Structure 1
Amino acid sequence: MAGVVIIFDFDKTIIDCDSDNWVIDDLGATKTFDELLKTMPWNTAIDLMMKELHSQGKSIEDISNSLKSAPIYANNISTIKSAYALGCELKILSDANLFFIETILKHHELMGYFSKIITNPGFVDEEGKLRISPYHDFNISSHGCNLCPPNMCKGIIMEKIRASYLSKGKKKFIYLGDGKGDYCPCLKLSEEDYVMPRKNFPLYDLICADTKALRAEVHEWSNAEDQEKVLLKLIQKLRSIDHEEETNQVFSMDCKFHIIPVSGHEILPQALPVPH
């Protein structure tokens, strides 16, 4: 399925939790984080919380070990592997951060299945401390989207992803997500694309509130097992469509008569297919 690009959100889509909250709760800093959120954006608060955790003596290893215990189910893992084996290109578009995502994917040996991870930068600085930065530096300029948080507009990113495939032939996109920030990229998809919102989560509620806003076809899912069934069924549907289009192309070829001379004479015309 070289013509199918599957884009996964990460938190509550690939893993069954919010990775930021998981680390903060696991390392005992929930109260401090809740206080920070009253005065600043989420992404800024996460960066300050990493500084706070380090000041309390927590190490990179402590943060990594916490991430490795984040819940991810066998069906989530087999979904990724099956979609990849069927020839789909997989990407992650997440408002988490690169350090958190890569730590979890490496732990479960899933890094190699994704062609690209698009998220907020997360890196260990020269002092051995984890720093989290915004994808869009809103201290310099605003991305201008009132649907998305200041640090990341997934809609703008989705437009860039789609534009990057214009010269690579026809592509169909499947987007899986759960949160409010996943709504904007879904609005950028076409009638030939698909959205898989997690049922009874913010993305699903936003779609249900205005069912005509999206052009893409919607297929809901509830849990890891359900996600696997729905996605693989969609991929199979797209495989059938591709096969039918190829078959129709073969049988819709025009015929053109060609005269074949034999020993100075001509025989009856033979029909040779000439494709469009």
Structure 2
Amino acid sequence: LVVFDFDWSLIDNNSDVWILEQLSKELAEKIVELRKKIQWTDLMHVIYQGVTRQQIENALTKIPFDPAMIEALKIIKRGKGEIIILSDANTEFIDIILKAYGVRDLVSFIISNPANWDEDGRLHVKRLISPEDSPHKCENQCSVNICKGRELVNYLSLHPDGFNQIFYVGDSLNDFCPATKMSRNDTFLVRKGFKLEKFLASSKNELKPRIVYW
């Protein structure tokens, strides 16, 4: 099983920020202040009400996606590996980008904030864990709307036959939690130059999986 975070792990940008920068540099700059007051997923939902489906799709099809990473996905599938995405982006963005680059059929499952289009072509994004749900109470570096460790455990519970190995590819602080659920037989692939690498360098937590920086 190979689990990919999406933004800055599978693709070479943050899909939410990319959209904002393509539509309005000024708005992208204001987001820095706005996110201090509003939860990120909720903020994106509000902003996308003023953006058409065509604008979003046109922007997402141009987002950087390294050909080497696309080839890696194909190699994994040829080797009979299963690929899932575990991301704090949203299901619709991920789906659009994967289809644009012709690799949607290589991904078995997407776990992310649910999103859908309304009749007027406006995108509605919800938190994976809504404010009405019980909080995940995770003590790791998880966002309030998603505990990736819990999501990984839930996914594995649906596959009782298990997997010989788990590979997890990530770059952010919320990618740390899944690694705490992995075994010594697994591999944690950490992107260099991002928050997760810096956190691991200063963390006293000992992880079981082998850590590989890329």
Give, in angstroms, the shift of residue 141 of structure 1.
Answer: 2.4
Q: Is the 8 A contact 1:123 1:132 kept in 2?
A: yes
1:129 to 113, 122, 126: 122
Deviation at 1:172, TM superposition (A): 1.1
Q: Which residue of 1 aligns with 2:145?
A: 151
1:77-226 equivalent positions in 2, closer than 5 A = 77-146=70-139, 147-165=141-159, 167-210=160-203, 213-221=206-214
Cα–Cα, structure 1 residues 211 and 194, in superposed 2: closer, same or farther, change >3 Å?
farther
3-state SS of 1:22 partner = helix
Give the gaps of 5 or more residues in structure 1: 222-276
Hey, what's the Cα distance between the residues in 2 that align with 1:141 and 1:210? 28
* Shift of residue 158, structure 1, vs aligned partner: 1.2
Q: How many positions carry a matched residue from both structures?
A: 211
What whole-Å deviation, never above 9, does each CA across 1:26-60 have from its counterpart, x for those lacking one?
Answer: 10021443342121111111111112xx2xxx421
TM-score under structure 2 length normalisation: 0.93
Give the structure with higher Rg (CA): 1
Deviation, structure 1 residue 192: 0.9
State the 1:171 CA deviation: 2.6
Q: What value does the CA root-mean-square deviation take over the aligned residues?
A: 1.5
Partner of 1:227: none
Tell me by how many angstroms 1:212 deviates. 5.0
Distance of aligned partners of 1:152 and 1:75 in 2 relative to their CA distance in 1, 3 Å threshold: same
SS of match in other structure, 1:131: strand
SS at match of 2:9: coil
Residues 33 and 49, structure 1, Cα contact 8 Å, conserved in 2:
no
Counterpart CA distance in 1 for 2:176 and 2:163 is 23
Partner of 1:72: 65
Q: Which amino acid aligns with 1:67?
A: L
- Structure 2 counterpart SS, 1:219: strand
Aligned residue number for residue 46 of structure 1: 44
Q: From 11, 20, 23, give the equivalent of 1:24.
A: 20
* 1:157 partner amino acid: E
User: SS where residue 172 of structure 1 aligns?
Assistant: coil
Question: Residues of 1 paired with 2:181 and 2:162: CA distance?
Answer: 18
Partners in 1 of 2:213 and 2:56 — Cα distance?
A: 33
Letter in structure 2 aligned against 1:142:
P
Higher relative contact order (Cα pairs below 8 Å, separated by 6+ residues) = 2
SS at match of 2:83: strand
Gaps of 5+ in 2: none
Q: 1:162 to 1:207 in 2, by over 3 A?
A: farther
* Contact 1:207-1:213 within 8 A present in 2 as well: no
Give the AA of the match of 1:190: S
